[in-house]
Amino acid sequence: MFTASPLIEPVYTIVLTGGPCSGKSSSLAYLTEKLSDYGLMVFVIPETATLITNNGIDRRKMDRPKQVAMYEEAILDMQLSFEETYLRAVMQIFPERKKVLLLDRGVMDIKAFMPHDDFKGILKRKGLSEVRLRDRYHAVIHLVTAAEGAREYYTGENNSARIETAEEAVLIDRKIRESWLGHPRFRIIDNRTDFQGKIRRTFSTILQILGMPAPRETKERYLVARVGDHLLPTHQTVEIEQIYLRPKNRDEEIRIKRRGRDGSYLYFLTRTRTAGARIEEEELITEAHYVSLARLREPGTEVLAKERSSFLWNDQHIEIDRYKGRYDGLTVLEAEPFDTAGEEKTIRLPPFITVQKNITHNARYSERRMAMKKRKSKDAFGAGPDALF
């Protein structure tokens, strides 16, 4: 679990993942240099699978499922050890510096390379929770394999451990995306630009995650009338509880969040400043810290609870929020606009979801406003979500 003392600058742990030949390893030098230019200390954990394959434990020599399961379990053990060792070292050696730890793949990638039951078995034997493994990182950035959208650039020349055909790479890429579904800061970087454009978009995304000024894509939000739940593709569902705290000044918003499922939760503290450019910073906190901060809830607000389902549709990461309590029945879809050369940015809505209207810039549906107690009673909801406002 990544935690830090309030007196120590935190380490931002960011996973770069993706299918074979997605540009992860090639982009690390660029990202390290650019982030260093912003005054950050940058550390890199190399891909564990490539490391052990190049040093003798070669998956290509394995022909039995049990061998593959043991191989992936070894990767999990080494990955966790690398992460904890790096994290502890950089926090102790450079406590006063703002730090970024870039990981060439994270532990949830393992899920994409083995049968689901085998993965669950490993977690059970080790007493690990899938939610806590997935959400231990500050952010996950998925670079789409060149085999999807830029096949002419798909090659194994820059990685001797790569054994997949282009078709296999596409399938693996999609399995990896599904493995990370449910992470609160999961971003997908596709191949709609050339490679330099791809890593620039990755850099911009990281700056946003770190709370630094960067070109920002506004997510689209839609009021949902109906969801065909039986048609939902592979998805992950988490419970979210959000509390707004008393801000220190008018240009700041502070909130805490509990996020997880099946009794396993992670806790977050988020600060958003709106003076000039919008800047957002988020850090993991302990359960005890969360309980303590909850006592500082902003007067006139209440706990906002919802259930979020995340899935992929047409290369878009889509989230459906179903609100609880006073807003029971209110459902909102959120997704990042998709664009291609020469086309206006739009959301490609799944056919099994019926939306009423776009509420992206409708202040009445902002969660900050929804948390305010000065609302009409729940009975008004019978006339539709607008009746609440």
Q: What is the mean pLDDT of each run of 10 residues along the chain (389 residues)?
A: 52 93 82 79 87 79 80 92 92 86 94 91 93 93 92 68 78 94 93 86 89 67 95 89 90 90 83 72 83 95 94 82 95 75 64 94 92 61 46
Fold assignment, 11-209: Rossmann fold (3.40.50)
Q: Tokens 């995306």, residue?
A: 177
Tell me if the pTM is above 0.75.
Answer: no
Residue-level pLDDT at 217: 58
CA distance linking residue 86 with residue 282, whole number of Å = 21
CA distance linking residue 389 with residue 373, whole number of Å = 11
Fold assignment, 220-388: Hypothetical Protein Pfu-838710-001 (2.40.320)
Total residue count of the chain as it appears in this document: 389
Same fold, 11-209 and 220-388: no
Residue-level pLDDT at 326: 92
What burial letters (b/e) apply to 195-204, b meaning 16+ CB within 10 Å? eeebbbbbbb
Residue-level pLDDT at 255: 94
Residue-level pLDDT at 12: 92
CA distance linking residue 41 with residue 62, whole number of Å = 39
Residue ranges covered by each domain of the chain: 11-209, 220-388
CA neighbor of 290 nearest in space, from 361, 323, 241: 241
Residue-level pLDDT at 381: 41
CA distance linking residue 114 with residue 62, whole number of Å = 13
Contact by Cβ (8 Å): 364, 387:
no
Specify the 3-state DSSP secondary structure of 303: coil
Residue-level pLDDT at 387: 46
Residue-level pLDDT at 163: 63
Residue-level pLDDT at 356: 94
